[in-house]
Amino acid sequence: MNWRTPALGAIQRTTALLTVTFAILILAADSRAAAFGCLAGGALMIANLAALTLVGRAIIALAQGGGVGTAGVILAPLKMLVFIVLAYFLITTTHLDPAGFMAGALTQFVAIFIETWRASTRGALVRPEDQQA
């Protein structure tokens, strides 16, 4: 099987679609608070992946400049710490439903699996130029 890497934009779109879908299902099955928690969890994960992209680019830029140094080593864990504190702050101060929040956060993992599967099936298609021996 020929594996391809999924595009970050595709993962973001799929995460947004799954988050809204899950929130609607949770609203119908549970409560408005759980649905709102799902939307907040999904939005936080979308923001996390966007921030991860920026941090990755910054680390690469620092490395190409001659040395990553302490800034490059600290950027990724610092971003992670900021998002952990933000999630804690959101859940405790706004009283988000923790189960709904986790459902929304897990949509990104589902989106990653879906987009990886899509990318791998697109890569496995045989192109006419590949048929020549």
- Domain locations in the chain as residue ranges: 8-121
> Quick one: pLDDT at residue 115?
93
> Quick one: pLDDT at residue 1?
46
The structure's pTM equals 0.79
> Quick one: pLDDT at residue 75?
79
Within 8 A by CB and 6+ apart from 46, the residues are: 12, 15, 16, 19, 108
Residue-wise pLDDT tens digits, 54-80: 888 877 777 777 666 666 678 788 888
Backbone dihedral region for residue 31 (phi beyond 0: left; psi -120 to 50: alpha; all else: beta): beta
Number of H helices, E strands in the chain: 4, 0
Listed as ranges, residues in the chain with pLDDT below 70 are 1-3, 66-72, 123-133
